[in-house]
Amino acid sequence: MSDLDLTLDLEPFTRRLVDPGACLIPAEETARRLGTTRERWAAFDRHWDELVPDPYLNSSGTLRLRRYGHIGLSRTGERRPRPHDAFLQPGDSNPLYVGRERHFEPLTDAFMADPLLGDILGLLAEAASVLADPPEWTVKIHPFRVVATAGREGEPTPEGVHRDGVTLVSSLLVDRGNADGGESTVYHPDGVPLFHTVMDEPGTLLLGDDRRTLHGVSAVRPHDPGRPAHRDVLVITLAEPEPEA
């Protein structure tokens, strides 16, 4: 993992992660922190061309492409590989897939080896440390591409407003093309909106304390109906390990 730019003070952002429970880090801040350029983001986005259709959404009409990976992440950003397994969310979180194991294609070796991914994981580990400080985080990595056409909207969160059953949930915009909509909203547990935003600049990073908030994203539509729209995001969640029996 390459060195992070420590000149960016995360405290003004992570203060909001503690209270009220979510924060938005603008693209220029994450770019400075991660040492990225537009070219580096474009190269990272090419991994999204290797995603495959989500087989659990075929009946809904939404075209969503994805892969999935699972690792351990230490306080210092060191990664520990974990066996590829089924993705299962707690029963009180995602209402669309209660208690259902879902099997997705694994992340590619090239994606896992990309230095930018390592830098992103380090940034998230630092941000999550204001919420909890386990020796190792349980990290789940989900690159998504949602595609929309004139006759078919794209649903980034077909489950609606939900939580993921983790400690920190993050959504990083990697690319967006010909897309209208896709508004991200974070809610208090009682359903009252905390804030909303349309992430339209690659590198924009939305963080939430998933224990105390809900979130959802509105449908994506093509700005030019003659061409498809897409929205590429990287969703990474950090959870404290389950206590051993």
Give pLDDT tens digits for 156-210.
988 889 899 899 999 999 999 999 999 999 999 999 999 999 999 999 999 999 9
The confidence score (pLDDT) of residue 7 equals: 40
> Burial of 239 by CB count in 10 Å (0-12 exposed, 13-18 middle, 19+ buried)?
buried
Rounded (5°) CA angle 127-198-165: 45
The confidence score (pLDDT) of residue 182 equals: 96
125: amino acid identity, one letter: A
Summary mean pLDDT of the chain = 88
Share of the chain above pLDDT 90, in %: 68
The confidence score (pLDDT) of residue 95 equals: 58
The confidence score (pLDDT) of residue 239 equals: 95
Give pLDDT tens digits for 98-115.
656 778 899 999 999 999
Mean pLDDT (whole number) for 6-19: 77
User: Residue written as tokens 């801040």?
Assistant: 29
Mean pLDDT (whole number) for 215-228: 96
Mean pLDDT (whole number) for 7-24: 84
Q: Whats the size of the chain, residue-wise?
A: 245
Mean pLDDT (whole number) for 82-99: 69
The confidence score (pLDDT) of residue 94 equals: 58
| 73-77 LR contacts (CB < 8 Å, sep 24+) | 73/121, 73/125, 73/136, 73/137, 73/139, 73/238, 74/125, 74/135, 74/136, 74/137, 75/125, 75/129, 75/133, 75/135, 75/136, 76/125, 77/1, 77/118, 77/121, 77/122, 77/125
- Taking 60 as the threshold, does the pLDDT of residue 20 lie above it? yes
Mean pLDDT (whole number) for 25-53: 93
- Taking 80 as the threshold, does the pLDDT of residue 117 lie above it? yes
Query: How far is 213 from 48, CA to CA, in rounded Å?
Result: 28
The confidence score (pLDDT) of residue 86 equals: 82
The confidence score (pLDDT) of residue 2 equals: 34
Mean pLDDT (whole number) for 66-93: 83
